[in-house]
Chains A and B, each alone.
Chain A
Amino acid sequence: MKFVTFGALRRKGIVGMNYRNVELIGRYNPRSHYPLVDNKLMTKELATASGVPVTELYATIERQSQLRNLHDILAPFESFVVKPDYGSGGKGIVVITHREGDTFIKASGDALSLNDLRKHISNILSGLYSLGGRYDTAIIEKVVAFDPMFADYSFEGVPDIRIIVYRGYPVMAMMRCPTRESDGKANLHQGAVGVGLSLKDGSALSAVIHDRPVTHHPDTHHDFAKLKVPQWEAVLTMAASCYEMTGLGYLGADIVFDKNDGALMLELNARPGLAIQIANGRGLRERLETVDRQKQPRSAAERVLYSMNYIE
């Protein structure tokens, strides 16, 4: 275990949890706006209205009684994702990649019966995965089709791109690549790789697993140095426009790439974590201050151009 001093963290401009809670979330994220991001259905509606592409919604299940018709509800779909409306941190998400009659095959290859799926959805409705355990709604939506572009950098799951948007300006970005250890999930604390991305062009800067630097993906052994996210300006613009959409001054936008639909906004987070600093090897502080100095109002596209050119 290695220790550093308070001074060393400050000199590096690293933002700590307390600073994030008081000066970023407490100051710029009004509580009344939280439902817009905590509730995935609401986020979806809002994004559609603002022209931000999202994954297609198949169905919602609100009551336990609807579970009797689950077979009929799922009948039209060959593949789908089930998630809790109020879930966070990827909890309770089941991805069905294909089905054989009423046997559903998960991304990991495990099979689920219709009954298993029914129990899982019942748990979602009971509030098992929701924030604070309130009654929840289950969302059934289209699976993001794995874009082979990132196949080299992911094990089983779909990598996503997390962009921190501060007062409308994208200030830091990373890609989260699932590993065998993370069980195909894109959660850093479960062992996914965090790859810091350059705001200028979306190319990889550095990568970490469990806060330790790596150069290659532990399962696919591909070099992260060759990673570069395409359509970078469009991705950043999607993230930046979430500021007007939600009114949140400090938010994390999660974006995935679909083979057919391109970049899609997956979800928004009103309390994005700070591990992105470790993935980037950089502190956030200086970038936040740069944004604080911008006084003139700018459109999302203008803010993205500013970030691409001046925030580094």
Chain B
Amino acid sequence: MQTFDLEAQGLRNLNAALQSQTKDTNQTAWEIVNAKGSHAIAVGLDAPIEVTVKGSTGYYCGGMNKQATIRVKGSAGPGVAENMMSGTVIIDGDASQYAGATANGGTLVIKGNASSRCGISMKGVDIIVHGNVGHMSAFMGQSGNMVVCGDAGDALGDSIYEARLFVRGTVKSLGADCIEKEMRPEHIEILTDLLERGESDAKPEEFKRYGSARKLYNFDIDNAY
């Protein structure tokens, strides 16, 4: 286990050390102490290492992640796991705005609540939120899955393209072109896997599925004002 004191050693040294790890590194486990809400912790990683952040983080923790497993033992600020490509980011507490924004792949697990615009423009990531998500979540979602074990705020899935949204609780309102869809056996299967990976014991049968009505795809004079 490598322990890194962020306060003493600084952010640039931290990210340089983590980014220089290769896929066959022996330094597979890292612990970051004195995070104190600092920005851009563990960004741009590209190795199958495990990074544990003790305490809460600021903006953009785990951004652009590839391969690494990053766990935050606290809450995360805006833009956690933004543009993740692969790997896993787990937040033990809450996440602020636009968690998992534009992420292409990987898994983002939020054990608490996520704030507004969770999964905005998601492009292939799987996001599992144990609590609630705020307004405009999955706005312009293009691909991937979002699982919300609690409630969703206003305008869920506004202008959504093709992402799958599963919500167990209430949805305050659906955004433009987002509709409730049938839960077929294959969706239960997908959701079962997502819940398992997301460390949630919620039952797949309790969820409803939402997705795109596909009315905004092409130019249609009826879509004009």
Same assembly: no
Residues of A near any B CB (own CB < 8 A): none
Residues of B near any A CB (own CB < 8 A): none
